[in-house]
Amino acid sequence: MTHIRFGRIWPRHGTPETNTPAQLSASPAASTAWHALSPQQCQEQLATSANGLTTEEALARQQLYGLNRLTPPPQRRWWTRLISQLQNMLIYVLLLAAVMSLVTGHATDAAVILAVVVINALFGVLQEGKAEQALASIRNMLTLMARVSRDGQRQTLDAELLVPGDVIHLESGDKVPADLRVFEAHNLLVQESALTGESSSVGKQDVALALETPLAEQSNLLFAGTLITQGRATGWVVRTGDDTELGRIGSLLRHVAPMATPLTRQLDQLGQQLSRYIVLLAVVTFLLGWLWRDLPLDGLFMAAVSLAVAAIPEGLPAVVTIALAIGVQRLAQKNAIIRQLPAVETLGAVSVICTDKTGTLTRNEMVVRALVTPQSQWRVSGLGYGPDGQIQPLDASAPAAQGMDALQALLRAAVLCNDAHLQHTTEGDWHLDGDPTEGALLAAAQKADIDWQAVRQQRPRLHHIPFESAIGFMATAHAMSDQVLWLIKGAPEQLISRCLATEHQAHWRVQTEQLAQQGLRVLALAQWWGEALSSQLPDVGWQWLGLIGMQDPPRQEAANAIAECQQAGIHLIMITGDHISTAKAIASQLGLAAQPTALTGRELDALDDASLRQRAVTLDLLARATPANKLRLVQALQAEGHVVAMTGDGVNDAPALRQADIGVAMGRGGTEAAKEAADMVLADDNIATLRDAVRRGRNIYSALQRTLIFLLPTNGAQALVLLLAILCGWAMPISPLQILWINMVSAITLALPLAFEPLNPDLMRHKPRPAAAPLLQLGHWVLIALAAVLICLLTLAQYHLALLWDASPQQASSLAIQGLVICEMFFLINCRRLEQPTLNRDAWLGNHTVWWSFAVLALLQLLLCYLPVLQQAFATRALSWRDWGLVWLQGLCCYLAIETVKWLLHDQLTRPRLVVDHHAR
């Protein structure tokens, strides 16, 4: 039986519903040598056209080929994660201790040690699985979009919906979504390092090649995962998903980095150092107890092992994992998608934000406000990309028809030298496909009753020179009877000298400056008639058409975000391609500075590195910036010791995004090249989202710092109780088995709540932390030491007082156990606000996770105290109401004493005080 597919006859492997990936991989689309076919042959082979497929055809082919995505990598099984959790020096010590306990006849001790190991490992497996799910959801949020021709119209679709035969439109900065056969190319350069490893760009064309042409030389094919670095291209999709070259070699271009940041490495190093010191202390304690106090070796061995287990905060890695995973998820919920997890940590240290103006500080919805021709000036009203609005003479007394021909010529040129498209949706809105600046030009033409689609049909495009920052303009050539009409659109300073005589240049520069001072972005247009199409644009002879001034309204929330960042000691620098007068006007509107300190790209180029470093720290805006300017600015700021966040959306921003400590790409308007170079993507292109991400980064760091300050004294106090008992020759207030119980239950309860701390509003009222600052300051270490000693002494006092009151050793130990745990619970409240007192409602009730952990811990402690099985296993006894009163009194004394210590150490614990606006420098 045969089946018709794409206009060809081929053996049917099954219905579309039953085709497997293996069967689809063997399809003609996957195996055809597309580079050897002419565009006409490709079109016939794919049964498509230059206008693309219909929606019905695309859906049918999607049933056959499946989604355009690579098979995801296999996830680690739970037992693989479990084994990785056991690969730890502390775990090895515990397992050895369990074996030795079993050999020496302490079966119960061995069982409890193994329980500690298993519970910690299972908990780590659970949290690692949640972290992997969080990262997988983030990968799904980084969806690649593609401009496709469907039903004769351009649409922007999820790249996963592409099928062979679709027509894709690409331009500088885009990422190729599938393997394409090019049938139209203009100045096309592609970076294929995703496949070849070579960083240099290669040229592409649309002509057929020899069948034996190797892959690296197939210049008429674009491969999935590569980047367009220059020019434009249109091509047919020929291979999708695993059939692409990228899929064939099994490479996934986009990975989220593993959870290993400088902070976690710092914590790992701290843990290893603590482990070495504590193991040494355990050995010394064992030797002293044996040689000096002549204690039994089997009990002394278990005491030494328990001392090591008690002192090392083995719950810390799990807390770090949870805190980072929670931070990533919450950032994603706030439209900040983390691509590189070190960004979560580094965000808290950002001291300078270099931000693009368009789309980040403004709405990225351009609207034309002024038109200036050689004969007249016009003002334009209305919002959005629709035709609503009017074009009226600036001089109300002038006749409306005066200068109309010149106005029509200016707007027709703006329509033709333009790549954007507008669509009127069924909901009555206007959808823009293309650059907002060019969309605004089409909207202005509609307000002048110009049918831009008809104008383009009447004057078809013959050639196109895309806009590149290096040349500062875009040019197109159009067929006009037996002549060629060249149109050029770009920055006025690039066109004035090309088009105007010297005596007229000053006038138009003044006109440009006047528009820029109104906060308008200014474009100039000109035309030139030629006899034949030429690849070289003439330097003279152009006819000046006029200026167009447009505005991108500032975001309402941008001014608030800027003010809060400045209050947080973060210096903001606005970077834009606009004229410097335009940039200053917008900077003032946003509250960046009343009198902004500004540089142009040319002025920056004239500075040497030392001078630039001096200017960079006081700079408010950089106008007419080139990619090289942005890169030098970031390097200068970093040389001055700043941690720099850099936003960008274009392929030209990629070098600066890579150089910055935090590269931030735009999710809506950003190119795929920018997203690939960035550490973080703003899904809503909003500076307020970046502000929120910085706040979240500071909060994560603060939570991890408080967690460490909580864990070290509580674990240290447990170890000190054992150490002092051995050195003083006392009976053990808490047995090694009981220490293991406390360590186990507190690790799975009290170690977690600080990772769920809500955002602290005061975090954005302080200066950024220095990136090289140690995790714990001197004041923190003093607090840790005093807290550990205090909890230890209170626990020993509770035990010995109980003995003085004729309590049994088991009853006294039960009191000591409960008192130690209650002190840890109160100390958790102390740690919620290290820099402030906690004698307030928010400190006690502001984190519901704290009370859930208290409830779980209280239940476990009650079971230890009253459940007969646990009483027998851990040698505990039931407590009376009086005993519980003493326990809670011990906890309250601990809480008040540590609050007093915090008050005495206030200057050492308090972060830098409130900062003033950076303009008071």
Which residues belong to the active site? 356
Strand partners, 154: 149
What is the full DSSP assignment across 120-172? HHHHHHHHHHHHHHHHHHHHHHS--EEEEEETTEEEEEEGGG--TT-EEEEET
| Half-sphere exposure for 725 (CA within 13 Å, toward CB) | 26
| Distance between first and last Cα of the chain | 82
Say which residue the tokens 């039994």 belong to: 296
Distances (CA, A) of 610 to 228, 355, 613, 622, 637: 35, 23, 5, 18, 11
What is the full DSSP assignment across 523-557? EEEEEEEESS--SS--SS-PEEEEEEEEE-PBPHH
- CA–CA distance, 661 with 345 (Å, rounded to integer): 11
- CA–CA distance, 391 with 368 (Å, rounded to integer): 10
Contact predicate 181/220, CB 8 Å? yes
**Interstrand relation of 662-666 and 644-648 (parallel, antiparallel or unpaired):** parallel
Q: Identify residue 584 by its one-letter amino acid code.
A: K
Judged by DSSP in three states, 495 sits in helix
Q: Which two tokens stand for residue 140?
A: 């799904």
Strand partners, 594: none
Handedness of CA 441, 443, 449, 451 (dihedral sign): positive
Contact predicate 437/550, CB 8 Å? yes
Say which residue the tokens 């579309």 belong to: 16
Q: Counting beta carbons within 10 angstroms of the beta carbon of residue 213, is it exposed (0 to 12), middle (13 to 18) or buried (19 or more)?
A: middle
Say which residue the tokens 């190991």 belong to: 117
Helix H segments across 729-840? 736-747, 778-804, 809-832
Strand partners, 572: 353
Contact predicate 367/446, CB 8 Å? no
Query: Which residue, 266, 262, 308, is CA-closest to 285?
Result: 308
- CA–CA distance, 833 with 512 (Å, rounded to integer): 55
Contact predicate 339/679, CB 8 Å? yes
Task: Please list, in sequence order, all residues whose beta carbon lies within 8 angstroms of the beta carbon of residue 503, skipping any fewer than 6 positions away.
Answer: none
Strand partners, 579: none
Say which residue the tokens 């159009």 belong to: 478
Helix and strand element counts for the chain (H, E) = 34, 27
Query: Which residue, 164, 165, 144, is CA-closest to 156?
Result: 144
- CA–CA distance, 228 with 501 (Å, rounded to integer): 38
Dihedrals phi, psi of 236, to nearest 5 degrees? -95, 140
Distances (CA, A) of 313 to 307, 735, 774: 12, 19, 19
Handedness of CA 765, 770, 773, 778 (dihedral sign): negative
Strand partners, 856: none
Query: Which residue, 106, 297, 112, is CA-closest to 740?
Result: 112
- CA–CA distance, 158 with 148 (Å, rounded to integer): 10
Distances (CA, A) of 470 to 473, 626, 629: 9, 8, 12
Say which residue the tokens 């005491």 belong to: 303
